[in-house]
A and B are shown apart, each in its own frame.
Chain A
Amino acid sequence: MTKVLNLLLQYYREHLLNPHLGMKLFLLQRVTGLGIAFYLLMHITVIGSVRSGPQAFDAMMTRVSEPAWLFKPLEALLMAVLLIHGLNGLRITILDFGSLAKHHRVSIAIMAAAFVPLVAIGGYLFLTHIVSG
């Protein structure tokens, strides 16, 4: 675990020498990727509670959604992390088509333009959920 953190730290040190947007996005992609992988492990475990019967599953569902003021923001955070990793990943995939790799700066602008409204809409929906209880 500390080794992984050390390795990520090394990338961060590199970033300090090269504070360019592309480097930041690479770091974000790695960190969000590992974060999502970790979430996936938890998700599998939580859903797996069904093996102890329907009541156990319902109890687990309650545990991961109450109190709403804690879990709704966490869900919003998950959504943001997924959006970052997903949109950045799509951007990288498109840039990987050789001839488009020249348009690096533009691609970041386009991705940001897509990310902002999506995360805003999602965040808004989550907040209204909290408000409505």
Chain B
Amino acid sequence: MARVSVFRYDPEFDAKGYFDDFDVPVRPGLTVLEAMFHILEHEDGSLGFRYACRGAVCGSCAMHINGHYRLACATQMSDMGDEVVVRPLYHLPIVRDLVVDMTGFWAKYERIRPWLANETPLGDGERVQSPEERARLDDLVECILCACCHASCPFTHTDPQYLGPALLLKVDRFYSDTRDLAAADRLAEADSEHGVWRCHTAYNCVEVCPKSLNPTASIAHLKMGTVRRRLTGRAKDR
């Protein structure tokens, strides 16, 4: 048995948020997301939360669980102990209970032009990349846009337009891609008012990423790139 305290808030009826406590029977292998299902089916059918794949690849079930932003489907109840406190992602408006409004996050995503910028005609039907060049992208393509890092970064709160760790990692993903021809534009986006300069290396993003990615390293890479471009005019680092 575990005591699960869930953040509840319905903007239509509640002046502010509060916590509801539920007792959930824990069996080996039960995830926090399954505990949420239990509450939904047996205790309170009005609980609101997002989920989709249940396999830690879609990023929908990101929430704050016992001091850490995590994916609910990838978190074992047995690892959380007897008291589990669940809150929604921070720095985004709350729609209801654990559901947050990701519109602002997606708007920022569109801002960084998250597609491969290469209009040149395809030669033999593919753009050739060496294994080493592809290996540089290994960590960067893994991001599932769950927004755990964005929620944990203190600077996305003080500057709501700050791109944040996830999106700057995305910028780095394209900047580091040898097939992308817009390196200078990527750096310009990073160098902008709400770009890399709002990062003060608090490293919360690295601590919470469910995929063990390192946005701070990406941001440092972009910072180095912008400095190189300002000093030497060269955009690409290789």
Contact = CB atoms under 8 A, between A and B. Distances in A.
Q: Do A and B come from one complex?
A: yes
B217 A23 contact: no
Contacts of B202: 20, 22-23, 25-26
Interface residues of A, number: 25
Give the interface centre of A19, A20, A29, A104 by most chain B CB atoms within 10 Å: A20
Interface in A53-98: 92, 95-98
A96 B207 contact: no
A20 B207 contact: yes
A26 B217 CA distance: 16
Nearest to A29: B200
Interface stretch (A6-14, A35-43, A115-123, A125-133): A6-14
B220 A22 contact: no
A9 B71 CA distance: 28
Contacts of A17: 64, 67, 87, 90, 152
A46 B69 CA distance: 48
A18 B208 CA distance: 9
Size class of B's contact patch?
A: 20 to 34
A108 to B, nearest CB: 9
Given A7-B158, A14-B157, A97-B220, A23 B67 contact: no
B203 to A, nearest CB: 3
Given A96-B220, A98-B217, A20 B157 contact: no
B216 interface: yes
Nearest to B207: A20
B17 to A, nearest CB: 14
A101 B216 CA distance: 7
B156 to A, nearest CB: 10
B38 interface: no
B201 interface: yes
Contacts of A92: 201
A36 B92 CA distance: 34
Contact of A104 (B68, B216, B221): B216
A104 B208 CA distance: 13
Contact of B220 (A23, A29, A95): A95
A15 B153 CA distance: 10
A96 B201 contact: yes
Contacts of B203: 20-23, 104
Interface string B137-161: 0000000000000001010011000
Contacts of B220: 95-98, 100-101
Interface of A: 7, 10-11, 14-15, 17-23, 25-26, 29, 92, 95-102, 104
A-B pairs with the 10 shortest C-beta distances? A22-B203, A101-B217, A101-B220, A26-B202, A14-B154, A98-B221, A98-B220, A20-B207, A18-B204, A98-B224
